[in-house]
Amino acid sequence: MRLLTDEQWARLAPCLPRNAGETGRPFADHRRIIEGIIYRYHTGIPWRDLPREEFGPWQTVWKRHRRWAADGTWDTVLAQLTAQADALRRRPLRR
């Protein structure tokens, strides 16, 4: 299930933290995590009810959301998505 278009993702990806160096566990797929957060916001379901096969372990999605909310990354993601949605609304309709 893709909730973000490739164009939306291309604009969001540079806003997200990268793996630091070669130590530690690499981050889970950021796109999958963001889509899990969006899905949870949209449906209002509890974190633990996120479909694992779509978004991975709910704990990973929840922890990443919590971390990003604390460090301002999630505000940046929301601002980027809002700006993209606003730009789409301003485009003239084509016939």
- Tell me if 79 is assigned to some domain: yes
Q: Is residue 37 part of a domain?
A: yes
DSSP state of 72: T
Whether residue 78 lies inside any domain: the answer is yes
Domain that holds residue 36: 28-86
Give me the percent of the chain exceeding a pLDDT of 90.
56
Could you tell me if residue 93 is inside a domain?
A: no
- Predicted confidence at residue 95, as pLDDT, reads 46
Q: Sorting pLDDT into bands at 50, 70 and 90, what band is 18?
A: confident
Within-domain flag for 42? yes
**Total of domains in the chain:** 1
Spell out a b/e string for 43-78, using b for 16 or more CB atoms within 10 Å of the CB, else e: eeeeeeebeeeebbebebbbebbeebeeeebbeebe
In a domain, residue 82? The reply is yes
